[in-house]
Amino acid sequence: MSEVLLKMGPFLGIDQSTNEGDISVFSSPDAMNIDTENGMLKTSLGYSKYIEARPPAVPNSLIKYYKRSSTGEVKKHLLIGTDLGIFYYDTTLSEWTQIHAALDSGIYDYVNYQKDDEDIIIMADGVELPQKWNGVGETTTLSGCNYKFSSLCLHYERVWASGEKENPDRVYYSADFNPEAWSGVQAGTIDIPTWDGASIKAVRTLYNDVIVFKDNEVFRIYGTYPGEYEVAQIYGVVGPIASKSIVSTGDTVYFLSGDGLCSYDGLRVKQITDNKLSSFFLRMNKQYAKLAVSIIYKNMLYVALPIDTATYNSHVIEIDLKRQTYMIRDIRVAAFMEYEDKLLFCNNSRFIYVYGEGDTKDGALIASSWKTPKLDLGAKNAIKTSTTLYVRGKGRSVNSGLCKLKVTAIYDGKTKEKYFSLPETEKTLRLRFNARGRYLQWIFENTQGCHFELHSPSVLIEADED
């Protein structure tokens, strides 16, 4: 008989790339609402209201408008797109003011622009003609434009657009320095037909190119002036499943496809998750996946998408782009936006929330869990008997009393559960935990929404070979 001290940290993230008996002890085949930053195992933070004023309609888009004062100070305005139109938050009155009335989806794309020393924002939803706002009064229809765009981006001094339903293969560009000139020698269109029934989902910029995303393919338009524009197909045969999932940072564009998360680095499109979320993506409700939204915030990629039978974005994938780790949250999100150094989101509650702030989900308790892979310690011929669990950590209750950690040991399918109270200040605990079998698995869960923080839990195991 021999003794082994099984150390379970530093923790990484979810890994569903292979049989759970073959993944690292530092990863999990199934986890929810867990944060593994710095290798620790922690209950994720929740979210709280950004402002108390509730919008008069459900927001489906978050919009940010920049306006520069005569003194050079830049002021941000928070706008929302709803199925009743566009509203902005008046910080003086602490209330929402409608600046455009409409009855449509409320899903807008937008660009900020300066024309003739006037700061304007241009917003398009694919249903109406694009709207323009200068921060005063109501919006006006973008003059000189007779196209109902759904996607907008800036490239040099031109506005580029797509999504006109009558011309699904066409990309449009305005004259330089004039987003209200869509005809003439300085403006124009580029057709990118693929003859497979696909349409253009969105246009975005990367490096010096305009990237065109179709249902099944991705193209780039390069060149500086209209007479020089050329189109090239990007290596890879996968396109985005949702236009609002397309985001970029530095030298990479990320988007959600029917096969999972993909990236484009200027050379080719490739899948980035290495099947580490393979089981999770099988649960994606593809009928409503077009609603998926993404954002990159502080080296983290957040992707909200519908899971199982949900007809809305029911879960969020959190990807640490530096550590290349993956986690999942059960948070409903219609849209994301970075604003005043905070990550904002909205959902059907109508409130605007700050993501990753507070110990609850605006009052609702957070349920967090981490399951280890099935482990045989490289000795299938040995019976393992656990005797002691060592935990260095702490916890805090969101209500009153102590934070109780629920620990489940699964040995050969037989389960044993125990509850342990965690101190408010970090301490090493020695806990008796007897279980016996050829393979073992452990689950750590919070109770009553409490927040725990664990450093490399370790189990003392006696192994007795046949």
Q: What is the spatial order of strands in the sheet that 269-271 belongs to?
A: 247-249, 252-257, 260-264, 269-271
- Domain-ending residue, one of 295, 328, 355: 355
- Same domain flag for 256 and 303: yes
Q: Which of 305, 329, 355 is the last residue of a domain?
A: 355
Whether 466 has a pLDDT exceeding 80, the answer reads: no
3-state class of 5 per DSSP? strand
For residues 164 and 205, membership in a common domain is answered with yes
Would residue 212 count as lying in a domain? yes
pLDDT at 218 > cutoff 70: yes
CATH number for the domain spanning 444: value is: 2.60.120
Specify if 363 maps to a domain.
no
- One domain for residues 396 and 263: no
Give the separation between CA 342 and CA 354, rounded to whole angstroms. Answer: 7
189 and 215 both lie in a single domain: yes
386 and 435 in a single domain? The answer is yes
Kindly state the average pLDDT of the residues 265-284: 88
Are residues 140 and 66 located together in one domain of the fold? yes
Q: Are 239 and 192 in contact (CB under 8 A)?
A: no
Q: Report if residue 361 sits inside a domain.
A: no
Are both 297 and 179 inside the same structural domain?
Answer: yes
Looking at residue 207, its pLDDT comes to 84
Give the pLDDT of residue 237.
66
pLDDT the model gives residue 413: 87
Residue 286: its H or E element: none
pLDDT tier, 399 (very low <50, low <70, confident <90, very high otherwise): confident
Same-domain pairing of 30 and 167? no
DSSP result, 71-111: TS-EEEEEEEEETTEEEEEETTTTEEEEEEE--S----EEE
Q: What is the mean pLDDT of residues 179-190?
A: 96
pLDDT over threshold 70, residue 277: yes
Residues 207 and 96 in one domain: yes
Residue 311, burial from CB neighbour count under 10 angstroms (0-12, 13-18, 19+): exposed
Q: Dihedral (C-alpha) 261, 278, 283, 219: value to the nearest 10 degrees?
A: 20
Domain that holds residue 456: 2-44+368-465
Q: Which residues contact 227 (CB under 8 A, 6 or more apart)?
A: none
CB proximity list for 313: less than 8 A, separation 6 or greater? 291, 292, 293, 304, 305, 306, 332, 333, 334
Do 168 and 266 share a structural domain?
yes
Dihedral angle sign, alpha carbons of residues 364, 347, 338, 279: positive
362, part of any domain: no
CATH of the domain at 100: 2.130.10.10
Q: Is residue 317 part of a domain?
A: yes
One domain for residues 380 and 351: no
The per-residue pLDDT for range 433-452, each reduced to its tens digit, is 888 888 999 999 999 999 99
The reply to whether 216 falls in a domain is: yes
- The pLDDT value given to residue 1: 63
Model confidence pLDDT, tens digit, residues 39-77: 999 999 999 999 999 999 999 999 999 998 777 888 899
Same domain, 231 and 289: yes
Check whether 274 has a pLDDT greater than 80: no
DSSP assignment of 104-168: S----EEEEEEETTEEEEEEE-SSS--EEE-SSSS-EE-TT-----SEEEEETTEEEEE--TT-T
For the chain, the domain total comes to 2
At 229-258, the pLDDT tens digits run 999 998 776 889 999 999 998 889 999 998
